[in-house]
Amino acid sequence: MTQAECNPAARTIASTQSEMTEIILPNDTNTLGNLLGGRLMHFIDLTGAMAAYRHSRTNVVTAAMDHIDFIRPVQLGDLVTLRSSVNRAFSTSMEVGVKVWAEHTRTGEVVHVASAYLVFVAIDNLGHRARVPEAIPSTPDELRRFEGALRRREHREAEAVRRRQAKLASVAQEES
Protein backbone atom coordinates (compact mmCIF):
# COMPACT_ATOMS: atom_id res chain seq x y z
CA MET A 1 0.00 0.00 0.00
CA THR A 2 1.37 3.46 -0.91
CA GLN A 3 1.77 6.35 1.55
CA ALA A 4 -1.09 8.20 -0.21
CA GLU A 5 -3.39 5.16 0.18
CA CYS A 6 -2.55 4.95 3.93
CA ASN A 7 -2.99 8.72 4.43
CA PRO A 8 -5.64 9.96 1.99
CA ALA A 9 -6.86 13.58 2.13
CA ALA A 10 -10.35 12.37 3.04
CA ARG A 11 -12.18 9.28 4.26
CA THR A 12 -15.88 8.46 4.34
CA ILE A 13 -17.57 8.50 7.73
CA ALA A 14 -18.91 5.00 6.97
CA SER A 15 -15.34 3.67 6.84
CA THR A 16 -14.85 4.67 10.51
CA GLN A 17 -17.88 2.79 11.89
CA SER A 18 -16.93 0.46 14.73
CA GLU A 19 -18.79 -1.91 17.04
CA MET A 20 -18.04 -3.81 20.24
CA THR A 21 -20.23 -6.21 22.23
CA GLU A 22 -19.52 -7.25 25.83
CA ILE A 23 -21.32 -9.59 28.22
CA ILE A 24 -21.72 -8.00 31.67
CA LEU A 25 -20.01 -10.17 34.29
CA PRO A 26 -20.00 -9.86 38.12
CA ASN A 27 -16.70 -7.90 38.09
CA ASP A 28 -18.37 -5.21 35.93
CA THR A 29 -21.21 -4.53 38.38
CA ASN A 30 -22.00 -2.62 41.58
CA THR A 31 -23.70 -4.03 44.69
CA LEU A 32 -27.11 -3.80 42.97
CA GLY A 33 -25.92 -6.00 40.10
CA ASN A 34 -25.89 -3.07 37.65
CA LEU A 35 -23.04 -2.20 35.30
CA LEU A 36 -20.63 0.30 36.92
CA GLY A 37 -20.72 3.76 35.29
CA GLY A 38 -16.92 3.87 35.10
CA ARG A 39 -16.81 0.50 33.35
CA LEU A 40 -19.33 1.73 30.78
CA MET A 41 -17.21 4.87 30.24
CA HIS A 42 -14.20 2.61 29.62
CA PHE A 43 -16.16 0.66 26.97
CA ILE A 44 -17.26 3.99 25.42
CA ASP A 45 -13.65 5.25 25.32
CA LEU A 46 -12.43 2.02 23.66
CA THR A 47 -15.18 1.92 21.04
CA GLY A 48 -14.69 5.63 20.33
CA ALA A 49 -10.95 5.09 19.90
CA MET A 50 -11.61 2.33 17.32
CA ALA A 51 -13.41 4.81 15.04
CA ALA A 52 -10.65 7.40 15.57
CA TYR A 53 -7.96 4.82 14.70
CA ARG A 54 -9.84 3.79 11.57
CA HIS A 55 -10.08 7.42 10.49
CA SER A 56 -6.58 8.65 11.33
CA ARG A 57 -4.52 5.44 11.02
CA THR A 58 -2.23 6.95 13.72
CA ASN A 59 -1.95 6.79 17.52
CA VAL A 60 -4.80 8.66 19.18
CA VAL A 61 -5.38 10.09 22.66
CA THR A 62 -8.69 11.01 24.25
CA ALA A 63 -8.77 14.79 24.69
CA ALA A 64 -12.32 15.04 26.03
CA MET A 65 -15.46 13.08 26.78
CA ASP A 66 -18.63 15.18 26.85
CA HIS A 67 -21.44 14.91 29.38
CA ILE A 68 -22.97 11.38 29.52
CA ASP A 69 -26.45 10.50 30.69
CA PHE A 70 -26.87 6.93 31.93
CA ILE A 71 -30.47 6.58 30.73
CA ARG A 72 -31.22 3.02 31.94
CA PRO A 73 -29.31 0.60 34.19
CA VAL A 74 -27.55 -2.32 32.51
CA GLN A 75 -27.84 -5.57 34.43
CA LEU A 76 -25.56 -8.51 35.15
CA GLY A 77 -25.75 -10.93 32.20
CA ASP A 78 -26.92 -8.30 29.67
CA LEU A 79 -25.15 -7.99 26.33
CA VAL A 80 -23.94 -4.43 25.78
CA THR A 81 -23.36 -3.27 22.22
CA LEU A 82 -21.55 -0.01 21.46
CA ARG A 83 -21.38 1.59 18.00
CA SER A 84 -19.14 4.49 17.09
CA SER A 85 -18.18 6.61 14.11
CA VAL A 86 -16.25 9.80 13.49
CA ASN A 87 -18.75 12.66 13.21
CA ARG A 88 -16.29 15.23 11.90
CA ALA A 89 -12.55 15.69 11.58
CA PHE A 90 -10.91 19.06 12.19
CA SER A 91 -7.16 19.72 11.95
CA THR A 92 -5.62 17.18 14.35
CA SER A 93 -8.78 16.29 16.29
CA MET A 94 -11.87 14.21 15.54
CA GLU A 95 -15.25 14.19 17.23
CA VAL A 96 -16.55 10.63 17.64
CA GLY A 97 -20.10 9.70 18.63
CA VAL A 98 -20.78 6.49 20.58
CA LYS A 99 -24.20 4.97 21.18
CA VAL A 100 -24.81 2.10 23.61
CA TRP A 101 -27.59 -0.51 23.77
CA ALA A 102 -28.25 -3.29 26.28
CA GLU A 103 -29.88 -6.58 25.31
CA HIS A 104 -31.62 -8.77 27.87
CA THR A 105 -30.48 -12.27 26.97
CA ARG A 106 -33.70 -14.04 28.05
CA THR A 107 -36.25 -11.72 26.41
CA GLY A 108 -34.14 -10.30 23.56
CA GLU A 109 -35.38 -6.80 24.46
CA VAL A 110 -32.89 -4.15 23.31
CA VAL A 111 -32.83 -0.69 24.94
CA HIS A 112 -30.74 2.41 24.36
CA VAL A 113 -28.80 3.03 27.58
CA ALA A 114 -26.27 5.81 26.86
CA SER A 115 -24.74 8.08 24.23
CA ALA A 116 -21.58 10.16 24.31
CA TYR A 117 -19.40 12.43 22.22
CA LEU A 118 -15.63 12.22 22.56
CA VAL A 119 -12.75 14.15 21.04
CA PHE A 120 -9.62 12.25 20.03
CA VAL A 121 -6.35 13.85 18.91
CA ALA A 122 -4.02 12.11 16.43
CA ILE A 123 -0.41 11.70 17.55
CA ASP A 124 2.45 10.61 15.29
CA ASN A 125 5.23 8.19 16.24
CA LEU A 126 7.38 11.08 17.55
CA GLY A 127 4.62 12.15 19.92
CA HIS A 128 3.62 15.22 17.90
CA ARG A 129 0.07 16.06 16.92
CA ALA A 130 -0.71 14.82 13.42
CA ARG A 131 -3.12 16.16 10.79
CA VAL A 132 -6.11 13.92 10.09
CA PRO A 133 -7.98 13.36 6.81
CA GLU A 134 -11.27 15.16 6.23
CA ALA A 135 -14.35 13.09 7.16
CA ILE A 136 -16.91 13.00 4.36
CA PRO A 137 -20.60 12.55 5.31
CA SER A 138 -22.77 10.66 2.80
CA THR A 139 -26.17 10.06 4.43
CA PRO A 140 -28.64 12.59 5.95
CA ASP A 141 -27.85 11.24 9.46
CA GLU A 142 -24.09 11.58 8.88
CA LEU A 143 -24.62 15.14 7.62
CA ARG A 144 -26.72 16.02 10.70
CA ARG A 145 -24.00 14.70 13.02
CA PHE A 146 -21.27 16.43 10.93
CA GLU A 147 -23.04 19.80 11.31
CA GLY A 148 -23.72 19.18 15.02
CA ALA A 149 -20.04 18.44 15.60
CA LEU A 150 -19.06 21.96 14.56
CA ARG A 151 -21.61 23.50 16.95
CA ARG A 152 -20.39 21.23 19.79
CA ARG A 153 -16.74 22.18 19.09
CA GLU A 154 -17.68 25.89 19.33
CA HIS A 155 -19.55 25.16 22.56
CA ARG A 156 -16.53 23.24 24.02
CA GLU A 157 -14.20 26.11 23.13
CA ALA A 158 -16.52 28.69 24.74
CA GLU A 159 -16.79 26.49 27.85
CA ALA A 160 -12.98 26.17 28.05
CA VAL A 161 -12.64 29.99 27.94
CA ARG A 162 -15.34 30.34 30.61
CA ARG A 163 -13.57 27.79 32.87
CA ARG A 164 -10.19 29.53 32.42
CA GLN A 165 -11.73 32.91 33.33
CA ALA A 166 -13.50 31.43 36.38
CA LYS A 167 -10.19 29.89 37.54
CA LEU A 168 -8.31 33.20 37.09
CA ALA A 169 -11.06 35.05 38.98
CA SER A 170 -10.90 32.56 41.84
CA VAL A 171 -7.06 32.79 42.07
CA ALA A 172 -7.30 36.60 42.05
CA GLN A 173 -9.91 36.47 44.83
CA GLU A 174 -7.75 34.14 46.97
CA GLU A 175 -4.74 36.46 46.55
CA SER A 176 -6.66 39.65 47.47
Give the residues lining the site for ligand COA (CB under 6 A). Answer: 61-64, 90-93, 119, 121, 129, 156
Q: How far is it, in rounded angstroms, from Cα 82 to Cα 87? A: 15
Q: How far is the CB of 48 from ligand COA (least distance, A)?
A: 11
Q: How far is the CB of 110 from ligand COA (least distance, A)?
A: 30
Nearest residue (CB) to ligand COA, 81 versus 93: 93
Nearest residue (CB) to ligand COA, 144 versus 164: 164
Nearest residue (CB) to ligand COA, 112 versus 155: 155
Q: How far is the CB of 121 from ligand COA (least distance, A)?
A: 4
Q: How far is it, in rounded angstroms, from Cα 122 to Cα 135? A: 14
Q: How far is the CB of 93 from ligand COA (least distance, A)?
A: 3
Nearest residue (CB) to ligand COA, 61 versus 143: 61
With CB atoms as reference, the residue minimizing the distance to ligand COA is 90
